[in-house]
Amino acid sequence: MHEGLHQRPRKAVRPGRRQRLATYWASALLLASGVLWLVAHHLLPLPEFAARHPLEPWAMRLHGGATLFGLAVFGSLWGDHVLPAWKQGRHRAHGGALALFWLCLILTGYGLYYLADETARALASNSHIALGTLLVIGLAVHVGMAGRHRRPQAS
């Protein structure tokens, strides 16, 4: 913005404070609700006569809400951040990987809604959970690297 000394001023691509906060909240809620489901599904003892743990549907209700919120946040970042940052060519490797994880999580999540075949569902489920872990690591790496290379005057 105020880069009068540069011949070609670069558009600021750092997400604003609210956008950053929204990104962290969405990611944290998606992770927390996903992990809650995993714990309820695999670790907690089943109450008597129950086919599944009563926490499971609650975890997925929260996860569904977090998904809607997360997709809105991702959509706002796409035009404001992902595309312009890609054009500038900075942090492409881990930024691009993070964007890819989001897209694959959306695809596998969609599969979890509609796949009926047991093998296909299991594949979608396992890939989704692995990608969920990668998403969290990817965000930490991306934000860490972006912070390390930030120019001092940017706040």
Please tell me whether residue 79 binds ligand HEM under the rule CB under 6 A: no
The interface region with ligand HEM, picked from 1-9, 47-55, 127-135 by CB under 6 A, is 127-135
Please tell me whether residue 106 binds ligand HEM under the rule CB under 6 A: yes
Name the residue among 23, 15, 16, 38 with its Cα closest to residue 138. Answer: 23
Q: How far is CA 56 from the centre of its chain?
A: 21
* Total of chain residues touching ligand HEM, rule CB under 6 A: 46
Name the residue among 76, 80, 82, 75 with its Cα closest to residue 98. Answer: 82
Residue type, 94: H
Q: Name the token pair of 24.
A: 């962290």
Residue 49's φ and ψ, nearest 5 degrees, are: 65, 5
Return residues touching ligand HEM (CB under 6 A): 13-15, 20, 23, 30-31, 34-35, 37-38, 60, 63-64, 67, 70, 74, 77, 81-82, 85-86, 90-92, 95-96, 98-99, 102, 105-106, 109, 112-113, 125, 128-129, 132, 135, 142-143, 146-147, 150, 154
